[in-house]
């Protein structure tokens, strides 16, 4: 009897080691598909190890193995958050891993591997990503589709489906390859699944190459020349009162160099001003005088004080030094810029550094007038991680923005993969709305992105400036801009189509 027990225990141990190894392999493949590695091909088969682990598992085990995979993936993806808060990082990882766990639970309940399964799995993943992007104010970081931000032909479908369509396509291939590799399925069933996934990929690629190489309709509009400034100020210096003059001096020096290119607009990053301008008028006066000196409109990030409230804002100054407009950040960082449900979570002020910032109320469209341009050019600003939320960019585009600007401060996360992961979102916002996007970072990654998602110019972790001519597209808005997340409803239908028959059968 004892040898039998020893054999069974060793067998169970080997199976457990195999399962955990496959979970880790899945997480590693997905990590490799994102920055710093950018091996986007890994995402197309990264879930295969997890699918093999889930074979024959009951619901509890399916959830736990998937949850374990999620913990490894998120720990390897948002490790940089420890530069802000270690307890907060651990809590966020454990929370985000839940979505992997629920995904494994759905896979275990989906029944036999059929065409229905092949559509259900990517649809369920997309719905979970969508839920994660909105629940508890949302955290749409490292979406599966973002792994393809350098794969230009594939991401062009985002102007129809949003980033969700790219996530769907990548997961569809994962599910299809797993279905085809299964030895217990008929050749006919394998052919059906293979042809379905191949057709979706080919149609996406055909559309992608068409969008990349078609001649855009610019309606003979004059290109706009933009300069972005990256002063590379360390986070620990940002609000040190002793170095305010030094910080302004750095921005002034770089801006003078950029002004020699005669741009139509110069952009400073989020919170570039180390002073609250309304409370320290001497700095505001210096800034206005400097703008008159360079005789160029200036967009800058600043903390603004108004009626005892503080706003994370973008200010536009004319070349004469007068204020042309202000945008107050609409989507604040929870547990970073404010505390949701403060009566309950007030204790978190001792865990993470939390500011007291008020919500903006208006979708501000800035108007930029130049001597030789008729009509004037409109643009909108996304502050910090607002470029992660497609609905914001879409609304700005619907209101007439001709190009988008993202001003950000990624100095919190040091020299890590965080700024590159952040850049992925900006690429998709440009493609979804078919608008050029200029990105100005305090440090990290400043860039110019074309409406096709091509990164035209990039400055990473360096002090300097970039000046680029941006071609302005016509007024015809993209399908996604006009109709939004219709694709999410399609995924919901696919999920119901996959789940309801399974429950009825049981």
Which three-class secondary structure state does DSSP give residue 335?
coil
The answer to whether 159 and 484 are in contact (CB under 8 A) is no
| CA 348/CA 339 separation, integer angstroms | 8
| CA 446/CA 15 separation, integer angstroms | 47
| CA 433/CA 352 separation, integer angstroms | 35
Cβ burial, residue 183 (10 Å; 0-12/13-18/19+): exposed
With CA atoms as reference, report the closest residue to 151 among 387, 361, 453, 441. 453
The answer to whether 364 and 373 are in contact (CB under 8 A) is no
Do you find a cis peptide bond into 237, omega within 30 degrees of 0?
A: no
End-to-end CA distance of the chain: 39
Q: How far is CA 35 from CA 18, 147, 163, 422, 423, in A?
A: 28, 8, 17, 10, 10
H-helix segments, 152-261: 152-155, 158-161, 163-181, 187-213, 235-238, 244-259
Count CA within 13 A, CB hemisphere, residue 444: 29
String of DSSP letters for 436-447: -EEEEESSSEEE
Tracing tokens 């809590």 back to the chain, one arrives at 91
Catalytic center residues? 270, 329, 384
Do you find a cis peptide bond into 455, omega within 30 degrees of 0?
A: no
Q: Which residues pair with 157 in a beta bridge?
A: none
Q: Which residues pair with 368 in a beta bridge?
A: 377
Q: Which residues pair with 316 in a beta bridge?
A: 299, 325
- What is the separation of C-alpha 33 from the centre of its chain, rounded to a whole number of angstroms? 15
């Amino acid at each position: 009897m004892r040898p039998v027990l020893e054999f069974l225990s060793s067998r169970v141990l080997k199976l457990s080691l195999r399962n955990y190894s496959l979970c880790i392999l899945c997480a590693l493949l997905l990590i490799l598909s994102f920055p710093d590695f950018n091996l986007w091909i890994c995402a197309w088969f990264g879930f295969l190890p997890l699918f093999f682990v889930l074979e024959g598992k009951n619901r509890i085990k399916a959830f736990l193995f998937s949850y374990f995979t999620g913990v490894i993936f998120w720990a390897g993806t948002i490790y940089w958050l420890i530069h802000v808060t270690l307890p907060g990082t651990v809590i966020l990882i454990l929370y985000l891993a839940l979505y992997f766990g629920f995904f494994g639970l759905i896979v275990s309940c989906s029944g036999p591997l059929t065409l229905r399964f092949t559509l259900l799995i990517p649809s369920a993943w997309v719905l979970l990503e969508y839920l994660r992007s909105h629940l508890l104010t949302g955290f749409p970081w490292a979406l599966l589709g973002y792994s393809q931000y350098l794969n230009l032909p594939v991401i062009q479908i985002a102007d129809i489906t949003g980033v969700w369509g790219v996530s769907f396509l990548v997961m569809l291939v994962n599910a299809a390859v797993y279905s085809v590799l299964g030895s217990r399925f008929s050749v006919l069933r394998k052919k059906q699944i293979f042809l379905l996934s191949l057709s979706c990929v080919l149609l996406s690629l055909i559309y992608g190459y068409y969008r990349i190489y078609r001649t855009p309709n610019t309606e003979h509009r004059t290109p706009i020349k933009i300069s972005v400034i990256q002063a590379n100020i360390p986070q620990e210096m940002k609000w040190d009162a002793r170095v305010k003059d030094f910080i302004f001096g750095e921005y002034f020096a770089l801006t003078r160099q950029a002004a020699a290119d005669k741009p139509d607009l110069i952009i400073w990053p989020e919170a570039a001003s180390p002073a609250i301008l309304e409370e320290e008028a001497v700095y505001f006066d210096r800034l206005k005088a400097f703008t008159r000196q360079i005789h160029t409109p200036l967009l800058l990030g600043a903390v603004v004080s108004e009626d005892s409230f503080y706003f994370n804002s973008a200010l536009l100054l004319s070349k004469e030094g007068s204020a042309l407009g202000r945008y107050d950040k609409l989507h604040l960082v929870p547990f970073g810029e404010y505390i949701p449900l403060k009566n309950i979570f007030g204790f978190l002020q001792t865990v993470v550094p939390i500011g007291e910032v008020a919500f903006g109320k208006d979708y501000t469209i800035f108007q930029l007038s130049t001597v030789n341009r008729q009509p004037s050019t409109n643009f909108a600003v996304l502050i910090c991680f607002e470029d992660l939320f497609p609905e914001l960019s879409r609304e700005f585009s619907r209101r007439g923005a001709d190009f988008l600007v993202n001003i950000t401060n990624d100095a919190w996360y040091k020299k890590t993969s965080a700024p590159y992961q952040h850049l992925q979102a900006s690429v998709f916002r440009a493609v979804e709305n078919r608008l050029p996007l200029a990105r100005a970072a305090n440090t990290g990654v400043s860039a110019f992105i074309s409406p096709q998602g091509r990164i035209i110019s990039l400055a990473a972790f360096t002090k300097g400036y970039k000046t680029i001519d941006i071609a302005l597209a016509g007024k015809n808005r993209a399908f996604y801009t006009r109709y939004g997340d219709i694709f999410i409803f399609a995924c919901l239908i696919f999920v119901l189509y996959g789940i309801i028959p399974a429950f009825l059968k049981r």
